[in-house]
Amino acid sequence: MNVDIITERIPNRKAKEIYERICRQTTVSKTELLEQSGMTVSTLTRLLEELTVQGLILESGFGASTGGRRPILYEKNPAYAYVFGLEISRTLSKLVLVDLGMKKLDTKSWTMTAEMTPDVLIRLIVEEVKRMLAAHHLHSSSVLGIGIGAVGPVDRLSGTILEPSYFPAKGWRNVEICRQLTGELGIPALLDNGANTAILAESWHQRTQSFRHLLYIHAGIGLRSSMVSEGKVIYGAVDMEGSVGQMIIQTDGVAHRNTSGNYGALESYASLYAIEKAARSALKQGRSTVLSHLVDDPEQVTYLHVLEALKKNDPLVVEIITEAATYFGIGLANLLNILHPEKVILGGPLIAGGELFFQTATQVAIRKTYYYPAYQVVFSKGQLGEEALAIGAAVMVMDQLVRL
């Protein structure tokens, strides 16, 4: 099913412009829309009437009077339609049902085990979509579509997950996820990599603020990045999601765990893999650490064990996390010196694991940023946390309403 079916819900280009302006603001008056759009009163009046009749916008009361009649206020109608957002990651996949105000109505998560092949996950997703629709008394005709934020690389145009690394289950190669879900559910499906959907969610959440250039980095099993400028995701010639992890920070450094990776790549120093490797190595060396009481075999150490030791302020683990965060901060400084974003949003397990990694990394990045303090960048953990990828996938579908 072609996604044009979403785009065509608002066929008029000027109507799309007005709808987008209303969506970007909590409420807005007709006077403000006139000033922002430069349209004539008659044109704007007609477009507002059309959007209201369609149910896309609502009259939401009156604004303050400036001497004459109080202006009518308009807002987006969140109940016009509903959207599914789906995250497919290496450790967890998550489905959310939201309205057009991105209010979460329902959610379901699955752990990505060695048994979670594409066929198994798709079957579970289809069953859950049908359950959610029934539970909330919704017909599929009221659903705009399902957005998917997946581990890259992906082919957005064909809706295919290409060759992602490190999935626990087999079969995650050239998965035509959009075609399969549309065939099973009869609703449009859109795909992008998870870093892009996450930054879409954060950008939408902060839409009333003045930040124009946002950088997002997800630090977990690998490193994933994306950037938004003027509300639009920046795309390269190919899917760039995991490229930041291949940034070389030491030319004769550690060999990458994947033979196609670079020596001295950032990912080899600042990732779950790198931290677990360092912890296992320290245990084998006989270093004194709380970790030795948590596992019998050094090879059994996981990031969860590291976090448990960190909570006890274990000196070895503090050292390992600080070193990984320092390398991450160096990579982050490189990005700041090239891209100069106004705000950097950091997410993923390494960021969620505690303040030590976040604070160390951002302090190192600031010290190594060329134009600091003249260039001031804001660092944030984001507002949506673990929901960002799935919510952003829903935002991606919603944005098709205003696509030309």
Q: How does pLDDT run across 33-50, given as a tens digit for each residue?
A: 888 888 888 999 999 999
Both tokens of 55, joined, read 């149910």
| Backbone phi, psi, residue 38, to 5° | 75, 15
Give percent of the chain above pLDDT 70: 95
The answer to whether residues 67 and 149 belong to one domain is: no
Residues 351 and 398 in one domain: no
Handedness of CA 230, 399, 111, 1 (dihedral sign): negative
Neighbours of 263 (CB within 10 A): 13
- The CA-CA-CA angle for residues 393, 202, 16, to 5°, reads 65
Q: What is the CATH number of the domain that holds 57?
A: 1.10.10.10
pLDDT of residue 378: 87
pLDDT over 60 (residue 1): no
CATH classification of the domain holding 174? 3.30.420.40
Structure confidence at residue 352 (pLDDT): 85
Smallest CA-to-CA distance from 100 within 130, 73, 78 is with 78
Higher pLDDT, 186 or 61: 186
Q: Residue 348: left if φ>0, alpha if ψ -120 to 50, beta else—which one?
A: left
Shared-domain flag, residues 377 and 391: no
The CA–CA distances, whole Å, from 6 to 132, 137, 192 equal 21, 21, 17
Total domains present in the chain? 3
What's the mean pLDDT in 166-174?
91
pLDDT at 152 exceeding the cut of 90: no
Q: What is the mean pLDDT of the chain?
A: 89
Residue 64 pLDDT grade (very low, low, confident, very high; cuts 50, 70, 90): low
Same domain for 261 and 282: yes
**Mean pLDDT lowest among 94-98, 136-140, 199-203:** 199-203
Looking at residues 373-384, what average pLDDT do you find? Answer: 81
Contact 125, 172 (CB under 8 A): no
d(CA 124, CA 129): 9
The whole-model pTM stands at 0.82
Are 190 and 102 within one domain?
yes
Domain boundary among 31, 56, 76: 76
The pLDDT tens digits for 207-266 are: 666 667 889 898 888 888 888 887 778 877 666 666 888 899 888 888 888 777 888 899
Give the percent of the chain with pLDDT over 90.
Answer: 55
Band (18; pLDDT cuts 50, 70, 90): very high
Please say whether the dihedral angle defined by the alpha carbons of residues 286, 287, 290 and 295, taken in this order, is positive or negative: negative
The DSSP code for 290 is: G
Do 270 and 325 form a contact (C-beta atoms < 8 A)? yes
Cβ-contact 218, 225 below 8 angstroms: yes
66-76 confidence digits (pLDDT tens):
666 777 889 99
Inter-residue contact 348 to 220 (CB < 8 Å) = yes
Indicate if the pLDDT at residue 320 is higher than 80.
yes
Residue 360 has pLDDT above 80, yes or no: yes
393, 197 in Cβ contact below 8 A?
yes
101 and 148 in one domain?
yes
Distance separating alpha carbons of residues 359 and 191, to the nearest angstrom: 33
Where a domain ends, among 58, 76, 94? Answer: 76
Kindly state the DSSP code that residue 184 receives in the 8-state scheme: H
Q: Are residues 221 and 368 in the same domain?
A: yes
Q: Does 166 share its domain with 217? A: no
pLDDT at 240: 63
The pLDDT tens digits of the residues spanning 90-115 come to 888 999 999 999 999 999 999 999 99
**Cα radius of gyration rounded to whole Å, the chain:** 23
Contact 290, 326 (CB under 8 A): no
pLDDT at 127: 97
Q: How many CA atoms lie within 13 A of 45 on its CB side?
A: 4
Q: State residue 203's pLDDT score.
A: 80
Query: Is there a single domain that holds both residue 220 and residue 295?
Result: yes
Looking at the fold, whether 368 and 232 belong to one and the same domain comes out as: yes
Average pLDDT rounded to a whole number, residues 167-188: 94
In this predicted structure, the answer to whether residue 2 has a pLDDT above a threshold of 80 is no
| 36 and 89 belong to one structural domain | no
Whether 105 and 251 map to the same domain: the answer is no
Question: Which residue, of 76, 98, 133, is where some domain finishes?
Answer: 76
Domain of 175 in residue numbering reads as 82-201+387-402
Q: What is the predicted pLDDT for the residue at 261?
A: 82
Work out the average pLDDT over 291-320.
92
Calpha distance 205→211 (Å, rounded): 11
End-to-end CA distance of the chain: 18
Please tell me the distance from the alpha carbon of residue 343 to that of residue 364, in angstroms, as a whole number. 16
